Structure 1
């Protein structure tokens, strides 16, 4: 992401968006999504929300780090930066000038699976966003001097977010060990060596391959009329020819057959650890490879362990035994490939990593041997649903959810099914997925061993 903000999950962006609208009353059920596919393959999704005269325009391209190979990591993210550097119609910097004059916000983000560009603006100005996005879809000018400057910006972003951040180093090293042939092993921003050897021809080739209408989804949400949006889409995007897209080879992770462990020595003040278990995602369930309810049960399981002050890890390890200064659990289910169930821990003062790790494993074992209580299930499902309803009060969140689901092959329709699926999760299902997936043979464990600045420089 430009401005030194790299998002690994677009959902993080939208939940903290300053443009999120709130309401004191329970929001009405959101209107249905209007959909149209242009002759050139561009899919257009429109989500009406007339509560405020605001609109969000987003263009999602189905390309990210997971489409790259060794030697060109970071290419999708670098191209994202260059997309703001001018077209055959506009010089570098004009994009921001035009949008600032109408009070619009704009930015972009890259993930493993997609690259997206967005504008948040008054609904009456959406045609301006269409004109700008339509222009740079096929008319980008990739200038040698601009690239020479911008790649240094990307490198500095990497230094700040990863190289000089012990948790960033651990996360990157963890992924590289946890995955063997799954492309999620590479960092979104790219390895520094690949950035050092990236050239302008690499970006030109990448842009030509992937930035076509038949590899994109246009999402518009807010105070808009679907038919008007479709007309604008035809006007500014409909004249482009389909691209000949590269064949995407399957890169399914090979089965893990034993625990993997690494110790990372980096300048840091406190020790910490990161542990992850291979799990299916929503795409796995859609493909019929696992039961449809399994991803939802894993989602609820994550919230039982770490879903607020009443969650098990917080209640038992931070407040109860006082052996943890911090805990975290996250389940990533929205990728175009299966991801992981992640747990993180920071030991309390004078508590070893081994002690806290053992306590984590004991809590996992309890999930396998004892059913969660109905009170826990009610609390977690209420929290998850409340969070989802609150986030849906933001048109930017709604647009981003649509784009993310569509770009990963899951399909935007799942958004309307989410609450029902979460509410249907049972204690027995939670126990089943804990037994099936949270096993040490499926686990990767990374420990951060703090080093002084002097030691870290050696």
Structure 2
């Protein structure tokens, strides 16, 4: 199940000022084009330091899918001054923790550190922005690690296999159809030159956002940014073509066969993404609709399908409107014993139709919005959470300054708006259905067969 924690990671967020000290974030640009966002939070003597690159799986092309993620791995494999693995060892020696992640829309690197160690991690991060070494032998070892990661997290996991197939069918032209980790054949044929070309094309200060949140002074932190990042020359960063998804003209289905304990079904409806915070009113109503269905323990899907009617072992709804590409509204569930996936598919759609026909009452709407906002306030009560929030907004084409306004818009959603989007976006013409057909768990794992019907 996709949880609200995952889906709303940068959505329904409370403002940084409400979470922490009430001081707004400071925004600067270095002369080389690097954007710098600094947020003070003096509750603890720690700092979250993040560098976000505006490149991810969305920028990849057929034949080299997964290269953004592969380069993320290679960023830890040495520079002109550091040996492979030395970056992580130095951060650990400073008492900090660090990691990185690649998404469809961006790639980010972070360290959490005691505040006096900030200059040292800035120096380390700036070094690999400018001086990464891509050694063929190190690449050949690391590409095997990535392939094994794909086997463990996708090929041997039934639900990730379903979502991989779902995206591949829901999107016919847009690169969101590709998995972030890449298709296995592309990984098997990837070379160190592919990774080097990606680094040279996208890893530049003018294609990056530096986010620093914690017990810092903005002027002093900006001076550090200028010292460590300001000398790195800007590049002529390429643009990714839009690859607009064609209009869907009917229901699409995919069946995945894989060893699993239970069947599973996921319904993905094309829905609008957030592009204009002021004008895209339907986005806010769709997010509230998702919360009405699956925003808390006693939300409609769990209360009706799991607890009362017992037609599902689990049932959920999710919607993630913030991103560089198109959005999906997803309903999913595991049918109870004796219930088919077709029957559960109908029951999931019935719950949306019930809202389309009868709406939601004001009491339920108020509970849902209060719950969601309170949940986000709790989850963002950390320097790292605030840095994540700022970075994801910025790298998705929005601004961290939009956060307060988004909350205002969500608070203003009416019952009539929720009913209207339930009526508008859940037709067959917008729908892709992915179904897991469980094979015996003891069966030897082989490459799953997926039959695609458009």
With normalisation by structure 1, the TM-score equals 0.92
Aligned to 2:167: 175
Matches of 1:80 and 1:457 in 2, distance apart? Answer: 28
Matches of 1:322 and 1:261 in 2, distance apart? Answer: 25
Matches of residues 292-303 of structure 1 in structure 2 within 5 Å? 292-303=280-291
SS at match of 1:195: helix
Matches of 2:423 and 2:141 in 1, distance apart? Answer: 51
Matches of 2:138 and 2:7 in 1, distance apart? Answer: 27
Do structure 1's residue 229 and structure 2's residue 221 form an aligned pair? yes
Assess if the C-alpha contact under 8 Å between 1:318 and 1:324 holds in 2: yes
Do structure 1's residue 308 and structure 2's residue 296 form an aligned pair? yes
How far residue 90 of structure 1 moved from its aligned partner, in angstroms, is 1.1
Aligned to 1:454: 443
RMSD: 1.9
How far residue 415 of structure 1 moved from its aligned partner, in angstroms, is 1.6
How far residue 14 of structure 1 moved from its aligned partner, in angstroms, is 11
Assess if the C-alpha contact under 8 Å between 2:7 and 2:320 holds in 1: no
SS at match of 1:52: coil
Aligned to 2:243: 251
Matches of 1:47 and 1:170 in 2, distance apart? Answer: 39
Aligned to 1:207: 199
The one of 118, 135, 144 equivalent to 1:143 is 135
Do structure 1's residue 421 and structure 2's residue 413 form an aligned pair? no
Matches of 2:431 and 2:445 in 1, distance apart? Answer: 27
- Residues 137 and 28 (structure 1), Cα distance of their counterparts in 2 relative to 1, 3 Å cut: closer
Assess if the C-alpha contact under 8 Å between 2:20 and 2:381 holds in 1: no
Matches of 1:223 and 1:302 in 2, distance apart? Answer: 36
Aligned to 1:353: 341
How far residue 83 of structure 1 moved from its aligned partner, in angstroms, is 0.1
Do structure 1's residue 219 and structure 2's residue 208 form an aligned pair? no
CA displacement 1:354-398 (0-9 Å, x = unmatched): 221111111111121112111111111011110121122111111
CA displacement 1:6-42 (0-9 Å, x = unmatched): xx99x74997xxxxxxxxxx95563201000011100
With normalisation by structure 2, the TM-score equals 0.93
Assess if the C-alpha contact under 8 Å between 2:106 and 2:395 holds in 1: yes
Aligned to 1:152: 144
SS at match of 1:454: coil
Aligned length: 437
Matches of 1:292 and 1:322 in 2, distance apart? Answer: 37
Q: Which ranges in structure 1 are unaligned for 5 or more consecutive residues? A: 1-7, 16-25
How far residue 93 of structure 1 moved from its aligned partner, in angstroms, is 1.7
The one of 83, 97, 103 equivalent to 2:89 is 97
Matches of residues 18-97 of structure 1 in structure 2 within 5 Å? 30-97=22-89
Do structure 1's residue 161 and structure 2's residue 149 form an aligned pair? no
- Deviates further, 89-98 or 53-62: 89-98
Q: Which ranges in structure 2 are unaligned for 5 or more consecutive residues? A: 10-17, 448-454
- Residues 436 and 448 (structure 1), Cα distance of their counterparts in 2 relative to 1, 3 Å cut: same
Matches of 1:148 and 1:12 in 2, distance apart? Answer: 32
How far residue 170 of structure 1 moved from its aligned partner, in angstroms, is 0.6
